[in-house]
Amino acid sequence: MKRKANRHSGSSFKDFLEAEGLESEVFARASKRSFVHQLEKQMLLGKINKNQVRKALGSPTTTTRVFDEDYTSSSLETLTKAAIAVGCELHISLVPRKSSR
């Protein structure tokens, strides 16, 4: 049985973000939120407080920025130091995009 195309469907949210030039910003914020969530989870598991992370990072301002989900300009070195402070490694990978067409 052949399915009718939904006449009410439009472009995808990804297409909208791309058209508005917001795609990279939204993905960066989502990645940072994921990082912060994982960092906080590891802090709970390891019974590590923010002061211990601050000592590893060397600066209260840097620590604030690491935990700020909207601040996406932290360097890889800073994120790596935060990961090490909670007993983890930072891994970055490229994931091929699925074609929406």
- Whether residue 8 lies inside any domain: the answer is no
Burial annotation 17-48 (CB, 10 A radius, 16+ → b, else e): eeeeeeeeeeeeeeebeebbeebeebbeeeeb
Containing domain of residue 39, as a range? 23-85
- Whether residue 92 lies inside any domain: the answer is no
Instruction: Please choose, from the candidates 62, 85, 93, the residue with its C-alpha nearest in 3D space to the C-alpha of residue 75.
Output: 62
Averaged pLDDT, 68-83: 96
The share of the chain scoring above pLDDT 90, in percent, equals: 67
pTM (2 decimals)? 0.78
- Whether residue 14 lies inside any domain: the answer is no
- Whether residue 30 lies inside any domain: the answer is yes
Query: pLDDT tens digits for 80-99?
Result: 999 999 999 999 999 898 76
Q: How many structural domains are present in the chain?
A: 1
- Whether residue 1 lies inside any domain: the answer is no
Averaged pLDDT, 31-60: 96
Residue 54 has pLDDT above 90, yes or no: yes
Q: Which amino acid is at 54?
A: R
Residue 51 has pLDDT above 80, yes or no: yes
pLDDT band at residue 23, thresholds of 50, 70 and 90? confident
